[in-house]
Chains A and B, each alone.
Chain A
Amino acid sequence: MTDPTGRPRPASLTELFVALTLLALQGFGGVLAVVQRELVERRQWLTREEFVEEWAVAQVMPGPNVINLGLMLGHRYFGLRGAAVAVAGLLAAPMVIVLLLAYGYSSLGDNPHVAGALRGMGAVAAGLIAATGIKLASALRAHPLGMAAVVAAGVATFVGIVVLRWPLAWVLLGVGGLSCVGTWFKLGARE
């Protein structure tokens, strides 16, 4: 189904619930890479630019980022009901699975094969998240700040988190704050 501007969107609360349940069930070691693949590339409910913008808000608000993103997406289509259905879709089925695993864990946790498989999946999941970032970088091409400032902000963020191990809140307030102020002036100059 498409909205008045011809963009794809979920037709019903049921479609929203099913889409997010299927998405959550594919998300081993974090759902983000799958969210980008499913919502941007496959279903095209969001463009890359929209995804990065919504993700920025989901990241800055407290709480689980993927839950926040789902909530905002559900709200956009169906208001409060959509927000509630999206959160339920992301959580219901995975919660049943994780509790079944917790129930059976005592007999599996010490097995070296199981521990090794978890390590292997963790390494792949790290790659999935990094690749998602690289793909989304193309959404920054037409950024109001211009390429040089965008790259500088990105490098400062990476160095702050990976090398200097600053708390996330500092990076968001410091580097993010500067970037937002700069963008505000550039947007003003355009108008």
Chain B
Amino acid sequence: MSITLTGADWLQFFAHFLLLSLLAVGGAITTAADMHRYLVDERHWLTDAQFSASIALAQAAPGPNVLFVAVMGWNVGLNAGGMGTAFLGVALAMLGSLIPSTTLTYLAARWGHANRELRGVRAFKQGMAPIVVALLIATGWILATGSSYHARDWPVWAIAVVSTLIVWRTRIHLLWLLGAGAFIGWMGWL
């Protein structure tokens, strides 16, 4: 795929990530649906396959999930020319995604730390705690089952349940478990 991006296009690309950064309550991945709408459907800067591959690749690589944004910027840049524009795409996508949210979080963290004895601050942090714990369990559940419940996916559920029990009950290093999961999948048993 080959496209042309003008300076104004890159500016709009950057501005779109700046905006999504502020809307990304619950993590960067929650704005992926809108990135698809903008980059694939509206601007045609990425193909559908490139979009899906960007997310899958970042999930498989080590590091925070937000790096899927870097891969998207990379692919848009490659489509628009070569390595130089690819690095430009990475820089604009990542800076756009991070500057607004980190600035806001930094200010909130500073205020919250200075006022940590206030009843309102303690009520917020402690009041959210049960929701946060339940959200983690819900996220694990959703990742294991995807959006559908098919009986033929039982090996995936089994692996998720077994790794839940092992992580909960033992101190085995997490990389061994991931390695085992990768091996089982590589052999085609999933």
Known: A99-B90, A113-B188. A183 touches B126 (CB 8 A): yes
Known: A102-B75, A137-B133. A127 touches B159 (CB 8 A): yes
Q: How many residues of B contact A (CB 8 A)?
A: 96
Residues of B within 8 A of A27 (CB): 62-64
Known: A63-B105, A98-B70, A180-B127. A91 touches B64 (CB 8 A): yes
Known: A61-B108, A99-B90, A187-B123. A31 touches B160 (CB 8 A): no
Q: Is the CB of A68 within 8 A of B101?
A: yes
Please name the residue on chain B nearest to A52 by beta carbon.
Answer: B129
Q: Is the CB of A176 within 8 A of B131?
A: yes
Mostly, the B contact residues are: helix
Residues of B within 8 A of A30 (CB): 59, 64-65
Q: Is the CB of A25 within 8 A of B130?
A: no
Answer whether residue B1 sits at the interface, using C-beta atoms and an 8 A cutoff. no
- Alpha-carbon distance between A129 and B63 when the two chains are bound, in angstroms: 15
- Alpha-carbon distance between A95 and B130 when the two chains are bound, in angstroms: 33
B67: min CB distance to chain A, Å: 5
Residues of B within 8 A of A117 (CB): 181-183, 185-186
Answer whether residue B136 sits at the interface, using C-beta atoms and an 8 A cutoff. yes
Answer whether residue B122 sits at the interface, using C-beta atoms and an 8 A cutoff. yes
Please name the residue on chain A nearest to B64 by beta carbon.
Answer: A66
- Interface residues, chain B, CB within 8 Å of chain A? 21-28, 30, 53-54, 56-67, 70-71, 74-75, 90, 94, 97-98, 100-102, 104-106, 108-110, 112-113, 119-120, 122-144, 155-157, 159-168, 171, 174-175, 177-178, 180-190
- Interface residues, chain A, CB within 8 Å of chain B? 24-34, 37, 41, 52-68, 71-72, 75-76, 80, 83, 87, 90-91, 93-95, 97-99, 101-102, 105, 109, 112-137, 139-140, 143-145, 150-151, 153-158, 161-162, 168-169, 171-172, 175-176, 179-184, 187-188, 191
